Structure 1
Amino acid sequence: MVGAAPIIAIDPLPSARERALLFGADAALDPLAPGFAEAVREATAGRGLDVAFDFAGVGAARAQAASVLGPFGSLVLAGLTPEPVTIADSIGFCFNVNQVRGHYGSEPEHVEQLVGLASAGRIALAPSITAHVPLAEAADAVARLEKKVGDPIRLVLTP
């Protein structure tokens, strides 16, 4: 909706890639596939990624994302981890004027924007909710997400 194209989802789980396509991604790639970097180049007409978002907080995912950035591309770190950020090819990273940026959550006005978009029917949030879970089962819900029990997307805690 803000002009990003193509949107490429990257996930090792086939079910997550299928979901991403249903939710509007233009392509969905397996990061473990032997031709991954070539598939990214193909999907971006040889340019590489303008922006890569790391939601996993996994060093290997970050390194792989950094390796497929295009010129002036940014790696946005949203997945939290105590692991240090490393850039394997700093010469290429600097030559391409790439950036690493951090992102933590959202601003209060973003919640209002989301509510407005959902109210206007521009986005549907319900398909991304796997289950509603009582607050008393919060620890179990976190474990389900962490271990991917039942292939969850989002669990909503209810009072």
Structure 2
Amino acid sequence: MAREVLSIGQVRIHSSRTSKEDAMREAADILEAAGAVTSAYFDAMQQREQTVSTYMGNELAIPHGTNDTKSAILDSALSVVRYDGGVDWDGEPVTFVIGIAGKGDEHLEILSQIAILFSDEDEVERLKSAQSPEELFQMLSAVNES
């Protein structure tokens, strides 16, 4: 069993709105603080975003690096930030910004779990109603069981 990709310290809730760039920076900073990525990862996220939007639908964006910036990834981890004021993601409304760092191909499994969760609108509403980072973490902790 790999170490947990999501810990309570990597889950945050903000009542305010923020810019896409600031949301991406926070996602990268959380991953860096968790020891999963180097400081180069934010630039990798920006590179990815320039080629393809990481907006996934259902108020979710999943910023992550490009394949040629794998050297910036030290370990697999997630960061989850809910912005109750929203983020304008190139014209799309985003509430959840989930940063992903995947060592090897591990991110694909994590991505699929998140995609399944967020494809269910009732689940998204449940995640939006979580009162605390702890409650949100409990709802998302299944990602650690892969």
Short-chain TM bin = under 0.3
The normalised TM-score by structure 2 is 0.25
The normalised TM-score by structure 1 is 0.24
Larger radius of gyration: 1
Considering Cα pairs closer than 8 Å and 6+ residues apart, tell me whether 1 or 2 has the greater RCO: 2
